[in-house]
Amino acid sequence: MRWKCTCEYDGTYFSGWQSQPGGNTIQDHIEARLFWIFGKKICIHGSGRTDAGVHARGQVFHFDGEWCHGADKLLRALRCGLPNTIRIINVEGVESSFHARFSAKRKCYKYYLLEAFPGAFTFRYNWCLGNRCPDLTAMQNSTKYFYGKHDFSAFCVNRGDGSEQDPIKTVCEMGFEKFERSIVFTVIADGFLYKMVRMLVGSFAMLGMGKISEDTILQMLHTGKRVVNIDAAPAQGLFLHCVDYRSF
């Protein structure tokens, strides 16, 4: 039986999604719980990796396991024994052809910036800009060039483990919104490269602060080459918001 699960997590104190020898990843904790439930090693397959410090509101994973007590009881069993910062939201049985990663049609990420210095309840979930106030109009205007299919080679980082992906991705939504001192960046695409969202936010932030021009961003987008040094935005502001499996 194949099970599709949706979970949320605070990534602050975890070493990312994908299993590592240290055992402190989201995948490691969930698989440890599954071992306790099923009495054997069960491997889960996520919709994608998130890095250390990155959060999720709608990460999806699947696994195969024989369970005859229904999805509701499996959900309750999974929720017990996990750290409080990992919560399974939903469990449902699916066809064996479903794959959390390869069946996904769209993913939505949100990145949060705050025009303030870090506070006790804000630093974990925002890039706190201190007294810097970027030009949001310039940032928003530049997002229109990213709609559609593009080579995002200039807006990613090579993992160095041979897992490089096709750099051509299709963006169907991208933009900034401001709520008082909070700035929210949303991007929806058919796939994402390693650190792609954080590199995009870092680029737009540099534009908004007058450190690079719109022409520089366009040159990187059109050539696929990073012509200036750009730092990825900090991990703590990034959330995997949801994964969409509907056909369009």
State the architecture of 106-244 in CATH terms. 2-Layer Sandwich (3.30)
Right CATH number for 2-94 from 3.30.70.580, 3.60.15.10, 3.40.50.1820, 3.90.800.10? 3.30.70.580
Residue 206, judged by CB atoms within 10 A of its CB (0-12, 13-18, 19+), counts as buried
Q: What is the pLDDT of residues 165-205, one digit of tens each?
A: 899 999 999 999 999 999 999 999 999 999 999 999 999 99
Mean pLDDT, the chain, whole residue set: 95
CA distances 201 to 11, 16, 80, 102, 118, Å, are 19, 20, 36, 26, 18
CA gap 121, 241 in Å, rounded: 20
CA gap 88, 33 in Å, rounded: 11
Residue matched to tokens 């022409």: 215
CA gap 90, 4 in Å, rounded: 8
Distance between alpha carbon 112 and the CA centroid of its chain, in Å?
A: 12
Q: What is the pLDDT of residues 232-244, one digit of tens each?
A: 999 999 999 999 9
pLDDT at 164 (0 to 100): 63
Please confirm, yes or no, whether 215 is among the known catalytic residues.
no
**pTM of the full structure:** 0.95
Same fold, 2-94 and 106-244: yes
Q: What is the pLDDT of residues 55-80, one digit of tens each?
A: 999 999 999 999 999 999 999 999 99
Amino acid at the residue 35: F
Domain ranges of the chain: 2-94, 106-244
CA distances 28 to 33, 62, 77, 86, Å, are 9, 14, 17, 12
Q: Given the residues 10, 28, 51, 64, select the one marked as catalytic.
A: 51
